[in-house]
Amino acid sequence: MSKVISNEDAGRILLKFDLNEPWNSHQKSQIFDEYYSKIFGRPEVNAQRIILVYEILSAVEEQLDQIDHKQYAYYSATKYFLLYVISKIMQNDEVGKAVYTNKLKIVLNTKDLNEFKRIITDILRNNIIVDLNYFLKDEKNSTFDYKKVSKNTTELQSLCMELLKDYEKDLKRAKAKSISEQWKAFKEQELANNSDVY
């Protein structure tokens, strides 16, 4: 069954993923007002771009139940914050950046798209959400006001930086595999499987 992505949904996800502004996730009216040309008036924005970001968001949504703080997990802005974090991770990774800048067009290949979503799921489940849960359990964050934080530019950027810092540590300690490492392993396996056919 095909999925219809509304202009509003497309604008929202591009605002978070491309423009990196998750603190505006509650501002629906801005998408068709002051942000319209910034969101949609760029040459890189096309149907493939919207599908890519939508599919990454769907991978994020599937992992929300891994967040221990259930009210925050299902608060409407949380998935957009995590989409923003994934966008930042992609921009700091060779393969991730190639996908982010449309140089690697994975939407055209279902197998590639599914593998990329699996990689994003792996990073969310085993690193980002684990660290987010620790952050939320920390006593000094016991008064975490997720509704207020979700609308605060400085606090969201600070939380994002904390998660990215922990992820970088995990990469250096080999507790995590980067997008590029996992993608390379996938392509090598695919090549080996194809050569077995002949």
> 3-state SS string over 21-55?
CHHHCCCHHHHCCCCHHHHHCCCCCCHHHHHHHHH
Is residue 44 situated within a structural domain? Answer: yes
* 136-180 residue pLDDT tens: 888 666 678 889 988 888 999 999 999 999 999 999 999 999 999
- Three-state SS sequence of 148-186: HHCCCHHHHHHHHHHHHHHHHHHHHCCCCCCHHHHHHHH
pLDDT score, position 193: 85
* HSE-up (13 A, CA, CB side) for residue 7: 9
Residue 2 lies in a domain: no
Domain around 29? 7-197
Beta strands in 57-155 (DSSP E): none
Q: Which residue do the tokens 């994002």 mark?
A: 160
Domain count, the chain: 1
Q: Kindly state whether residue 1 falls inside one of the protein's structural domains.
A: no
Structure confidence at residue 40 (pLDDT):
79
Q: Is the dihedral of CA 168, 171, 177, 183 positive or negative?
A: positive
Residue 129 forms part of a structural domain = yes
pLDDT of 28 reads 61
Domain annotation covers residue 174 = yes
Q: What pLDDT score was predicted for residue 62?
A: 97
Hey, what are 36's tokens? 């319209």
In the predicted model, residues of the chain with pLDDT beneath 70 are 1-2, 24-33, 139-142, 196-198
* Euclidean distance between CA atoms 6 and 81, whole angstroms: 20
In a domain, 119, yes or no: yes
